[in-house]
């Protein structure tokens, strides 16, 4: 038995406060209801302590993998006929993440207190974003919450896999660049000076390539802190600029203009728009509300502006395909498929097909990019280090002739 503090309204309108003992929050709520009291607030005796602790934790985020697992499992339990409160209790016990476990417990307590599931989730925007909460609300209203949760879990799973694919394709070149910079810096600062002393004592005429490398080494040793300070300042300034609306738009334009990588990013954005809009429309969300949520999911200013323009065109009575066509950010195939979906009344299916197509394109491009960039960067890294080594060993032949 646990002790609960409550605040309720009596039939005469008076506010009553007190405590009672019950096996759980639901049992306490039933006791008060049986006394014809309207419960305003009810919490366990230790809830205040938990609330203060949870206030410190509510800014934390939950890993996407854990959220996908939670959504898949909850959909399966609801489909099997298990009540949602019982399902949340089971998931709370299974969850290994302490913070997420606390979130699930608090959501369950709000449900037992009379809140809707979507309202309870909405209290944790760092964990459940607006799209998640709105889809759950649509599922509650339509009575097919399990189906909506299943679609939502599949959507998050697809987006996570696609993002990991792109990151893995771009991570290898980035690591190679960093390793190259580190090795070249080490050679220039530590190794080249040794050769420079040897050649200085031998007093031989050095080849032009060797002189260039040695001068570069002297410059780097003399201005090493300035160089790295400048690079750090450049990164800080770019980060600050990116956080401003004009700067964010500039960098998003720049990213899309990068050869090959820009095409990959653009196809990923189209896949994200198609998949997100398909999930929202199939759940029964109004088109204007769906476009607002899709804007938040794209994380690209150019696509956000295009969707905003499409929303305004829809408000004026235009179709979605007309609005997308005028933005200039969507391919002709994307617009034509959307138009066909609107004409046939199968827009969610058409959007899902578009998402499948572009996701497949991204996967193929990511694999191709990885296979192409790997040998290219290996040649660049090997060539850079090779030039430095050759430049430093060229004078050895002249040094041998002088000693001979």
As a whole number, mean pLDDT of residues 312-322 equals 86
Containing domain of residue 33, as a range?
2-45
Task: Give the residue ranges of DSSP H helices in 299-346.
Answer: 301-315, 320-327, 332-344
How many domains does the chain fold into? 3
Query: Is residue 249 a part of any domain in this protein?
Result: yes
Check residue 232 and give its pLDDT: 92
Q: How confident is the model over 256-305, as pLDDT tens digits?
A: 888 888 888 899 889 889 888 888 888 888 888 888 888 877 888 888 88
pLDDT at residue 113 tops 90 = no
DSSP state of 62: -
**What tokens were used for 115?**
């809140």
Query: Is residue 398 a part of any domain in this protein?
Result: yes
Instruction: Say how many residues make up the chain.
Output: 404
- pLDDT bucket at 60, cuts 50 / 70 / 90: low
Query: Is residue 250 a part of any domain in this protein?
Result: yes
Check residue 230 and give its pLDDT: 92
Strands 38-44 and 2-9, bridge-based pairing: antiparallel
Q: Answer yes or no: do 65 and 15 share one domain.
A: no
Q: Answer yes or no: do 197 and 276 share one domain.
A: yes
* 237-252 as b/e: b if 16+ CB within 10 A: eeeeeeeeeebbbeeb
Query: Is residue 369 a part of any domain in this protein?
Result: yes
- pLDDT bucket at 56, cuts 50 / 70 / 90: very low
Check residue 175 and give its pLDDT: 83
β-strand partners of 44: 4
Q: How far apart are CA 335 and CA 351, in angstroms?
A: 10
Check residue 124 and give its pLDDT: 87
Query: Is residue 162 a part of any domain in this protein?
Result: no
Query: Is residue 160 a part of any domain in this protein?
Result: no
Q: Answer yes or no: do 32 and 71 share one domain.
A: no
* 1-34 as b/e: b if 16+ CB within 10 A: eeebbbebeeeeeeeeeeebebebbeebbebbee
Strands 15-22 and 38-44, bridge-based pairing: unpaired
- pLDDT bucket at 240, cuts 50 / 70 / 90: very high
Which pTM does this prediction carry? 0.69
Check residue 383 and give its pLDDT: 87
pLDDT at residue 237 tops 90 = yes
């Amino acid at each position: 038995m646990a002790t609960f503090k409550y605040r309720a309204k009596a039939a005469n309108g008076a506010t009553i406060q007190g405590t009672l003992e019950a096996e759980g929050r639901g049992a306490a709520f039933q006791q008060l209801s049986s006394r014809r009291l309207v419960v305003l607030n009810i919490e366990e005796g230790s809830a205040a302590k938990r609330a203060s602790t949870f206030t410190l934790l509510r800014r934390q985020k939950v890993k996407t993998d854990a959220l996908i697992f939670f959504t898949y499992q909850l959909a399966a339990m609801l489909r099997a006929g298990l009540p949602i409160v019982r399902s949340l209790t089971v998931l709370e016990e299974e969850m290994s993440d302490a913070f997420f476990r606390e979130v699930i417990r608090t959501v369950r307590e709000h449900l037992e207190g009379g809140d809707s599931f979507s309202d309870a989730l909405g209290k944790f925007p760092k964990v459940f974003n607006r799209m998640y909460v709105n889809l759950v609300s649509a599922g509650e209203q339509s009575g097919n919450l399990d189906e909506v949760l299943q679609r939502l879990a599949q959507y998050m799973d697809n987006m996570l896999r696609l993002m990991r694919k792109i990151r893995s394709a771009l991570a290898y070149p980035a690591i190679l660049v960093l390793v190259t910079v580190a090795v070249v810096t080490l050679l220039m600062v530590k190794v080249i000076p040794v050769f420079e002393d040897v050649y200085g004592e031998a007093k031989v005429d050095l080849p032009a390539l060797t002189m260039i490398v040695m001068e570069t080494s002297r410059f780097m040793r003399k201005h090493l802190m300035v160089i790295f300070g400048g690079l750090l300042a450049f990164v800080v300034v770019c980060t600050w600029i990116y956080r401003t609306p004009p700067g964010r738009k500039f960098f998003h334009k720049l990213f899309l203009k990068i050869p090959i990588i820009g095409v990959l990013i653009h196809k990923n954005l189209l896949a994200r728009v198609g998949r997100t809009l398909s999930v929202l429309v199939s759940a029964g969300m109004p088109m204007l509300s769906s476009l607002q949520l899709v804007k938040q999911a794209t994380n690209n200013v150019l696509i956000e502006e295009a969707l905003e323009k499409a929303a305004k065109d829809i408000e004026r009575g235009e179709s979605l395909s007309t609005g997308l066509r005028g933005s200039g950010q969507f391919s002709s195939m994307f617009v034509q498929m959307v138009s066909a979906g609107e004409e046939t009344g199968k827009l969610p299916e058409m959007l899902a097909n578009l998402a499948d197509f572009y996701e497949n394109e991204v996967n193929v491009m990511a694999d191709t990019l990885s296979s192409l960039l790997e040998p290219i960067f290996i040649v660049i890294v090997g060539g850079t280090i090779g030039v430095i080594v050759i430049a430093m060993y060229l004078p050895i032949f002249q040094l041998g002739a002088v000693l001979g």
